[in-house]
Amino acid sequence: MMTKSDIPTPALVVDLPTMERNIRLMSDYFASRACKLRPHFKAHKTPEIARRQIAAGSCTGLTCATIGEAEVAATVSNDILIANEIVDADKCRRAAALAQKVGVTVAIDSVAGLEQLSRAATEAGVTLGVLVDLNVGQNRCGVAPGEEAVALGKRARTMPGLKLRGVMGYEGHAVGIHHRAEREAAVRRSMNQLSSTAKMFAEAGLPTELVSGGGTGSYDISSEVERINEIQAGSYALMDSDYGSLDTPFQQALFVLGTVVSRPVPERCVIDAGHKACTKDHGNPSVKGMKDATVLALNDEHAIIAIPPASQVRVGDRLALVPSHIDPTMNLHDVVYALDGDNVVGVWPIAARGYGRG
Amino acid sequence: MMTKSDIPTPALVVDLPTMERNIRLMSDYFASRACKLRPHFKAHKTPEIARRQIAAGSCTGLTCATIGEAEVAATVSNDILIANEIVDADKCRRAAALAQKVGVTVAIDSVAGLEQLSRAATEAGVTLGVLVDLNVGQNRCGVAPGEEAVALGKRARTMPGLKLRGVMGYEGHAVGIHHRAEREAAVRRSMNQLSSTAKMFAEAGLPTELVSGGGTGSYDISSEVERINEIQAGSYALMDSDYGSLDTPFQQALFVLGTVVSRPVPERCVIDAGHKACTKDHGNPSVKGMKDATVLALNDEHAIIAIPPASQVRVGDRLALVPSHIDPTMNLHDVVYALDGDNVVGVWPIAARGYGRG
């Protein structure tokens, strides 16, 4: 059997028992609640992981960030939310084609986007669900909560081929706040905007079948807000050092394995995993199991690591990095090696990585 | 014929006439010099581009960062330098296998690395070239210039299956210094260490057939230093905003094309190219042809761009980003679209991206 030491580096490895515990903890949390979980596929892009998330229960379907992810996620779930705007003719056609096989709902924040989706759905003879996307403080996409959202919802209802299903809003600016009370306050401010807009939808006779938001840093805050009935958390299954520094019950399951290629001086070693194997957009990774080691720099193909001069690390040894941000790190690799102890029990395609599928 | 507007976004596009001009400028610079060019394949990982670099002349071969890149680069050149340490048995075997087809030289900075390469070369019945890698100030890999390097060179000469060819050193900490006089001084300090170690090699009877260093920010400084006979520049063909801010004659040829998916307020638009399409490790990209636009943030799938409220940008429009760092941005994509004006004249595989080949 292939073992950890046979894996060519740099490589992604997942500790399977830890991942399964994370998935179980999250599905248990939602099991007894009215609010359910719609795991975000963008976190890992890996059908084998999504299958386990859905099998654990408490899930309504999957959340995706792109049409390419949705096409892959549809092999695992028949209820797909693209929690992102899709506005060009080619991607709208792909969304409509996908809707011939599974339920597809897309976030919208413009009339131009509605028109493209409506045209594609009509031409394909399908119905595409739409959710009005709210800016709840992240200042990215999304219309203003309240009247502006209601107006767009009313417009959506007039468009052939589309079925308005409700509203969504992602509190991305708040999910990573370290201090629990501050995070709770910021998340509630955002989610109250989502909730009050859902109330206005209901009062205007617009559907609120889906009121969707939340992430791994806010799942147990947002899910308690009235009317919110879906949480889009993704990172909880694998985790990263950024989310790991919060007070969640989930443990680190994903690592980037590298080989020490150089120890030119006692106080420094270099491994063959750089930022083309492990992104640093949320900061440098840490080194698994070595509290006295610090990543000084991630270059393209090198992690430069400060170590105590007395360390026994030698050229040829293997070290594991703990990524600071899971989503773009997964995106760099074609496969992830599933480990049970030191045994490789699966080599899973990260089937929705990249843009080959758009 | 496919045109720019048919390209699915996000996507890499190269302006072919600009790239060809860059390649011509660099080969002309080296045409009349004793020092030659060994283009760094890691910058673009694209055989179609390497072919044009070599066809332009003044090249000794190609430089690579990994064995996976070397395997692809060997389809274009028969003289490959892996300017990086390779220490594990599997990668050393692959290097030896490659040496049955083309000339392969590998950087070394440890006895453990020498032993692995020697074993693999002996078992495969080939000769692998080696260069002693010097730390000339970047503080990454590499032994100290001077006596330590000479001692490792002498050791290399005793190892079966290996042929010592000289020394290398990369002044990566100096190539990006903006102020020309400061850059020149820092590059010369590094390259004088490389040159003086080459002199010691010669005095000790060790070969100095290859004395290799330099980059796009230092090609016209390092190539003037005595004994240095190869420059490893890579970025000059495509360029990025980081190198573009220096005083080189090369022009930006590579862009990341995106579609405006949202313009929720007059002062902001969002395109579908985030840091999974355009890295930000050297800073946020700029927006091509829009001096009054500023990228506020690159999220996974979104660039959030501040624009003047009076801007005519609309949902569905296309914008192009100028990457700040070319190498990892190329690594995110499977293909690059070659443009002559608005016509797509090639869809080139970035054949050595990722780690599928190690």
pLDDT in tens, A220-238: 999 999 999 999 999 999 9
Same structural domain, B148 and B53: yes
Beta bridge partners of residue B131, listed in sequence order:
B107, B166
Same structural domain, B223 and B150: yes
Q: What confidence tier does A1 reach under pLDDT thresholds 50, 70, 90? A: confident
Same structural domain, A180 and A278: no
> Rounded CA gap, A2 and A252, in Å?
23
CATH number, domain at B337?
Answer: 2.40.37.20
Average confidence score pLDDT of chain A? 97
Contact A141 B277 (CB under 8 A): no
User: Which token pair is A111?
Assistant: 């009339």
Residue A93's CB is within 10 A of a number of other CB atoms, namely 18
* B230: containing domain: 33-237
- For residue B120, report the phi and psi dihedrals to the nearest 5 degrees: -65, -40
DSSP SS3 for A349: strand
Amino acid identity for residue B298 in this structure: L
Same structural domain, A106 and A188: yes
- For residue B166, report the phi and psi dihedrals to the nearest 5 degrees: 150, -145
Section B60-89 average pLDDT: 97
Same structural domain, A54 and A177: yes
Find chain A residues with C-beta within 8 A of B327's C-beta: 276, 300
The answer to whether A77 and A54 are in contact (CB under 8 A) is yes
- For residue B80, report the phi and psi dihedrals to the nearest 5 degrees: -115, 125
> End of a domain among B190, B214, B237?
B237
Amino acid identity for residue B254 in this structure: L
Find chain B residues with C-beta within 8 A of A270's C-beta: 85, 140-141
| Predicted local distance difference test score (pLDDT) of residue A355 | 82
User: Which token pair is B276?
Assistant: 């999974």
* Side-chain-side CA neighbours of residue B64 (13 Å): 31
The reply to whether ipTM tops 0.90 is yes
Q: Can you tell me which residue has the tokens 């996908």?
A: A98
Of B110, B333, B358, the CB nearest to A315: B110
Find chain B residues with C-beta within 8 A of A332's C-beta: 331-332, 354
User: Which token pair is B335?
Assistant: 């293909």
The answer to whether A178 and A193 are in contact (CB under 8 A) is no
Section A265-280 average pLDDT: 97
Contact B276 A328 (CB under 8 A): yes
Same structural domain, B177 and B305: no
User: Which token pair is B280?
Assistant: 């930000």
**Closest residue in chain A to residue B274, using alpha carbons only:** A328
Same structural domain, A61 and A106: yes
Find chain B residues with C-beta within 8 A of A139's C-beta: 268, 304
> End of a domain among B205, B237, B269?
B237
Q: How far is A266 from chain B (nearest CA, A)?
A: 12
Residue A28 lies in a domain: no
Residue B155 lies in a domain: yes
Q: Which helix (H) or strand (E) holds A53?
A: helix A47-55
Contact B276 A86 (CB under 8 A): no
Amino acid identity for residue A347 in this structure: V
The answer to whether B268 and B311 are in contact (CB under 8 A) is no
Sheet of strand A210-213: strand arrangement:
A36-37, A230-231, A210-213, A162-169, A128-134, A103-108, A79-85, A62-64
How does pLDDT run across B12-57, given as a tens digit for each residue?
A: 999 999 999 999 999 999 999 999 999 999 999 999 999 999 999 9
How does pLDDT run across A15-60, given as a tens digit for each residue?
A: 999 999 999 999 999 999 999 999 999 999 999 999 999 999 999 9
**Closest residue in chain B to residue A300, using alpha carbons only:** B328
Does the structure show a pLDDT above 50 at B7?
yes
Q: Can you tell me which residue has the tokens 């989610």?
A: A191
Residue A115 lies in a domain: yes
Residue B80 lies in a domain: yes
Does the structure show a pLDDT above 60 at A358?
no
CATH number, domain at A147?
Answer: 3.20.20.10
Percent of chain B surpassing pLDDT 90: 98
> Rounded CA gap, A63 and A133, in Å?
14
How does pLDDT run across B129-154, given as a tens digit for each residue?
A: 999 999 999 999 999 999 999 999 99
Q: What residues have CB less than 8 Å from B13, skipping those under 6 apart?
A: B4, B7, B254, B255, B256, B257, B320, B336, B337, B338, B339
Find chain B residues with C-beta within 8 A of A143's C-beta: 264
DSSP SS3 for A75: coil
Section B151-165 average pLDDT: 98
Does the structure show a pLDDT above 50 at B357?
no
Residue B15 lies in a domain: no
> Rounded CA gap, B291 and B310, in Å?
14
Q: What confidence tier does A356 reach under pLDDT thresholds 50, 70, 90? A: low
> Rounded CA gap, B149 and B133, in Å?
8
Find chain B residues with C-beta within 8 A of A8's C-beta: 90-91, 355, 358
Residue B21 lies in a domain: no
The answer to whether A78 and A100 are in contact (CB under 8 A) is no
Sort strands A128-134 and B11-15 into parallel, antiparallel or unpaired: unpaired
Section A143-153 average pLDDT: 98
Find chain B residues with C-beta within 8 A of A268's C-beta: 139
Same structural domain, B129 and B191: yes
Contact B301 A66 (CB under 8 A): yes
> Rounded CA gap, A170 and A188, in Å?
12
- Structurally, chain B folds into a number of domains equal to 2
Residue A145 lies in a domain: yes
Interface A–B counts its CB contacts (< 8 A) at 158
Same structural domain, A215 and A302: no
Same structural domain, A54 and A144: yes
Q: What confidence tier does B1 reach under pLDDT thresholds 50, 70, 90? A: confident
> Rounded CA gap, B26 and B218, in Å?
12
Residue A356 lies in a domain: no
> Rounded CA gap, A54 and A296, in Å?
39
The 3-state secondary structure of chain B, one letter per residue: CCEHHHCCCCEEEEEHHHHHHHHHHHHHHHHCCCCEECCEHHHCCCHHHHHHHHHCCCECCEEECCHHHHHHHCCCCCEEEEEEECCCHHHHHHHHHHCCCCEEEEEECCHHHHHHHHHHHHHHCCCEEEEEEECCCCCCCCECCCHHHHHHHHHHHCCCCEEEEEEEECCCCCCCCCCHHHHHHHHHHHHHHHHHHHHHHHHCCCCCCEEEECCCCCHHHHCCCCCCCEECCCHHHCCCHHHHCCCCCCCCCEEEEEEEEEEEECCEEEECCCCCCCCCCCCCCEECCCCCCEEEEECCCCEEEECCCCCCCCCCCEEEEECCCHHHHHHCCCEEEEEECCEEEEEEECCCCCCCCC
Does the structure show a pLDDT above 80 at A250?
yes
**Closest residue in chain A to residue B42, using alpha carbons only:** A300
- For residue A79, report the phi and psi dihedrals to the nearest 5 degrees: -140, 100
Q: Can you tell me which residue has the tokens 């980003």?
A: B321
The answer to whether A242 and A199 are in contact (CB under 8 A) is no
Contact A261 B135 (CB under 8 A): no
Q: What confidence tier does B355 reach under pLDDT thresholds 50, 70, 90? A: confident
> End of a domain among B237, B257, B278?
B237
Does the structure show a pLDDT above 60 at B343?
yes
Contact B141 A66 (CB under 8 A): no
Same structural domain, B271 and B310: yes
> Rounded CA gap, B357 and B84, in Å?
16
Same structural domain, A164 and A281: no
Q: Can you tell me which residue has the tokens 């005095």?
A: B203
Q: Which helix (H) or strand (E) holds A337?
A: strand A335-340
| Predicted local distance difference test score (pLDDT) of residue B356 | 62
Does the structure show a pLDDT above 60 at A357?
no
